[in-house]
Amino acid sequence: MALDKADLEALLAPLRQKYLVQLKTLLPEIEMIHSHLMEGTCSPKDMEILKYTAHRLFGSGSTYGFVAITKSARALEIELLNSGEPRDLAQLSTAFQTFLEACKDALNSTARES
């Protein structure tokens, strides 16, 4: 079956919507971890959740057309993997903030479309 990009986009639309619903559900938890990070109360469990989330969204963002999510999630993942103890909080926070904005932009863009 020969499908062009527009056909595929149409088929992907419901899955993309589902992806965004999941992202919307995930966002409060990520924002809470960001608050913990800023307050200096980030637990090892928070960091594990953040690493897993960044890795997962890096691996799926572009597939659904959200290139900024993939790029910022990768940058955050690298920051999380590279930063030793004590962490460079300023750098980590910047990467985290960019990632959060990319997630929010994706959600807002869809809100504008619908």
Partner 1 sequence: MAPPLKKILCIDDEDDILQVATLALEQIGGFEVSSCNSGKAGLEYVCKMPPDLILLDAMMPHMDGPSTLKELRKNPETGIIPVIFMTARVQPEQIQEYIAIGAVGVITKPFDPMTLSKDIALLWEKLHGA
Confirm or reject binding of residue 56 to partner 1 (CB under 8 A). yes
**Do residues 64 and 102 touch, judged by C-beta distance below 8 A?**
no
What x/- string results for residues 14 through 43 when contact with partner 1 is judged by CB under 8 A?
A: -x--xx--x---------------------
Confirm or reject binding of residue 99 to partner 1 (CB under 8 A). no
Give dist(CA 29, CA 49) in Å, integer: 9
Tokens of 37: 């990070």
**Do residues 58 and 73 touch, judged by C-beta distance below 8 A?**
yes
Interface positions with partner 1 (CB under 8 A): 1, 3, 5, 7-8, 11-12, 15, 18-19, 22, 55-56, 58-64, 70
